[in-house]
Amino acid sequence: SKIMGTILGSIAVGVLIGYPFGGITYDLLGKAAPFHILSVLCLFTLIMQLATLDLTVRHHSSSIVVEDGGSRWWPLLTNRLILIIVGAIWISTSAMSILEPCLPLWMMSMLHPKKWQL
């Protein structure tokens, strides 16, 4: 539950910070600026992970036994905890993805905003 809370909190922080960040950088620096800044941040994160993570592979016994040639997804798809976490993440992100395209249409019909306010 701690991991699920961290993931859902990260989604919320991304929504709270991402939209204003994109709007401000678009307004001040241009249409491509948010994407350039995010690509630099992703590259920086990748470089830092490669520099700091231990990339050696350690073999240890596992409680999940996979036959040769078998699918490694099936044990994950039958794990109840993983399915609950995936469902919670799916529901939380689908709410935003459903509301996001409908909100401007609702605003135009109910509030009659000017074009720059959309």
Instruction: Tell me the C-alpha distance between 15 and 95, whole Å.
Output: 12
Instruction: Tell me the C-alpha distance between 23 and 46, whole Å.
Output: 25
**Cβ(34)–Cβ(25) under 8 Å?**
yes
* pLDDT digits 0-9 by tens, 81-100: 888 888 888 887 888 778 87
10 Å Cβ neighbour count for 68? 4
0.75 exceeded by pTM: no
Cβ neighbours of residue 23 closer than 8 Å, sequence gap 6 or more: none
pLDDT at 43 over 60: yes
Average pLDDT, the chain: 83
pLDDT at 60 over 90: no
User: What is the predicted pLDDT for the residue at 44?
Assistant: 97
